[in-house]
Each structure stands twice: as C-alpha cells, then as structure tokens.
Amino acid sequence: MILDQIRRNFSSIVLYTLVFLSIFWARAFAGLPLEELGFECSIFTSVPEWIGNNLNLRLILSMLVTLMLGLGLYQLNTNHMFMRGREHLLAPFYVISLGAFSFLQSFAGVHIAAVFILLSINSLFSCYRNEYNLYGVFSTFMYIGIATLFYAYSILLIIPAFTGLLRFKSIQPRDIIIMIAGLLCPCYFASFVSYFLVGQFMLPVHKTIENLAFEFTPGFIGLTLFQYTFALCAIIFIAVETFRYMGVTRRGMTQKAVSCNVIFSRYFIFCALAVFIFAPHGKGIVIFASIPGSVMLSNFFASLKHRFWSNFLFLLLLATAIISCYISI
C-alpha cells in the first residue's frame, strides 16, 4: 500500500516528496492560469527584476523551498522527537498541504518567511524545561522578526510562540526583555542598512505597516470550492487527532512530545483563524498553517491501525488536493 511505501526508508521519503511536487507544480509549468501572492518585502523597495520577470525561476525557487521545508520538518522531528516513530509522512504531507493551494506555487516573500518560522519553532522547542536557555528565547523571536521583513503577517506568530514558551518554562522579566530584543533586532539592523543604502532609516518599518492590510470580509477567503473542500477534510482529520491528546500519555509518548504536539495544535488553530480574519490579504498564512497541519495529519494517519482505511483516507485527501490544485471553481 502507498503509505507503507512512503514510510519504508529515507529514499522513499525523498522520492514520493519529489513525485508529489512534480504533480502539483506541473500545473503552473503547463501554463495554466496562476494566482500569485506578490513579493511584498519590507527590505526591498521594489521586486528584484531577475525574479519578477521570470515565472519559471519563481516556480523552481518555490519548489526548492517547499522541498527544503518538508525535509526540514523531518529534521525537526529528529531533533525533538515529537512523533510516534512515523515521521516519514511529514515531508510528503507538507507538499500535499501546500500543493492544494496553487497561489503558493509562485515564489514570494512568504516562502522565505516560512523558512525562518520553522527555525523559530526549532528554537522554541529547544527551550523545553530549560530555564537558562536565553539564546533559545532570543532566537525564537529573532527568527519571527526576520520573517516579518519578508512577509508582514509573520508578526502574528509571536502570539503562539509566547504561549508555547509559557507551556515550556516559567517566564521571567528577563525573558520578556529578551523576546522584545529578539523581535526588534532584525528590524533595527534592516533600518540601518536602509539608511546607508537609500537614506531612509524607518523605511522597513513603514513598509511592514503598509503591507499589513486589514479588510475583514467574513465568508470570503479567496479560495476555490475544492480548496475549501481540501481544507475542510484536513481540519476534520486534525480535529480528530487533537481530541485524541486527552489520552496521549497512555500511548507511550514522552511529556516533551505531548507538549510539542499541543504547541503545534495551537499554531494551527491560530493560523487558521488568522487566514480567516485577515482574508483575502493574509492568504499566505496558509503556508505557516501547513507546518503544524502536516505534523498533525502525519500523527493522525500514523495512529490509524486499519491499513485499508488509512490508505483510503490518504488517497481521498491526495485526490482532493490534486483536484483543488487543477480545478479553479
């Protein structure tokens, strides 16, 4: 069965991840209409011409970043062991989660921001029961600050990051100071660079605020019908997995693994709400939601004992993702 093939070894992980990447990105390379998020970065006064005028390059760059993030999740689990031994599903599920949303197939600032958000989560997990890991606290928020320079809505993730630290350690006044310093340090550095290059010290701050467009339109997120369907299927599976955490300690998981998965569920819930509240401008937050979403989907399928149903539900999710990618209704 296909899930057993994916889980077999690391080579199969890479192979199936590349296969799924090819399936989803073939749509854009085939010349079908492609919605793009735009390259709205606070550190650029204009989009670099060599990126903006070359669609194929943007597609290749987004593929490479997506592959890197998927394999980065695999490495994240190797570092912190938050899954029950079936981590092989992480990279393919991340590609499937992103592939369903065709507007994420063209390289944009949010792809760079997602790399730093993943690094931020890694730093956050390193703070587990480590009261003196001040660098972990600093780097958690520093990476969010860097991500904000590439995609303004990244600033919202300071909320789940802070709640994560509250679960991992006791927060002291020094931690609050370090968080603020870490968050502001990238903007401060970017402002100095901006001052020496274009003579405008506050340009990154002004562009970040400018890019934080807010237009609350309930019921309209700018997704197609099939993208809604895929999102609904994924949310149902994730909700089932979340409710299972009531008895998670009886399934042999360590306390750190439980805490990490709780943090992932908070990240996902917060990102899902943010996509709705800041729609349609904040659709790029979907790429952040896919990080914890792919982890929880992997946990869901790893916990299914019946091979037929696990493979059937996986193929259903994959088919829904492919249809939502190719059919724009």
Percent of the chain scored above 90 by pLDDT? 29
Task: List the one residue out of 213, 212, 211, 156 whose CA is nearest residue 183.
Answer: 156
Q: What is the overall mean pLDDT for the chain?
A: 82
Please give the Cα distance from 252 to 62 (Å, whole number): 37
Please give the Cα distance from 217 to 226 (Å, whole number): 20
Query: What tokens appear for 171 in the block?
Result: 């927060």
Q: Are 104 and 29 in contact (CB under 8 A)?
A: no
Tens-place pLDDT, residues 28-38: 888 777 777 76
Please give the Cα distance from 139 to 118 (Å, whole number): 12
- pLDDT (0 to 100) of residue 250: 44
Task: List the one residue out of 122, 147, 117 whose CA is nearest residue 133.
Answer: 122
Domain extent, residue 162, equals: 2-326
Pick from 152-161, 169-178, 200-209: least confident: 200-209
Please give the Cα distance from 207 to 278 (Å, whole number): 17
Query: What tokens appear for 75 in the block?
Result: 């490495």
- Band of the pLDDT at 21, cuts 50, 70, 90? very high
Query: What tokens appear for 65 in the block?
Result: 């970043």
Q: Is the peptide bond before 160 cis (omega within 30 degrees of 0)?
A: no
Number of structural domains in the chain: 1
Q: Please tell me which residue, 168 or 216, carries the higher pLDDT value.
A: 168
